[in-house]
Amino acid sequence: MPSDKSQYRGYEIKLRQEWSNWCANVHPTRSDLPILTQSPLLTLSLSPEEALTAAKHNIDKALGGLEQQNVA
């Protein structure tokens, strides 16, 4: 299980349990990053791992997609 706080691409992700599901709040850690105004309930998931993955996907979407990765 991920910790209740994670860092990803300059954002802090805080997981919390809502009812019987998990959701994530996302906050920028630097002033040059956009504030994501999406509801944490958009990341409502059955497990904390799924909520963390959904939050990362939302961050990637807001920042214009995934960074390019070199594959050998």
In tens, the pLDDT along 1-43 reads: 566 889 999 999 999 998 889 999 999 999 999 888 767 766 7
Q: How many C-beta atoms lie closer than 10 Å to residue 13's C-beta?
A: 25
Contact yes or no for 27/11 (Cβ under 8 A): yes
C-alpha 64/C-alpha 24 separation (Å) is 20
pLDDT confidence of residue 37: 75
Q: Any residues with CB less than 8 A from the CB of 41 and at least 6 apart, and which? A: 18, 23
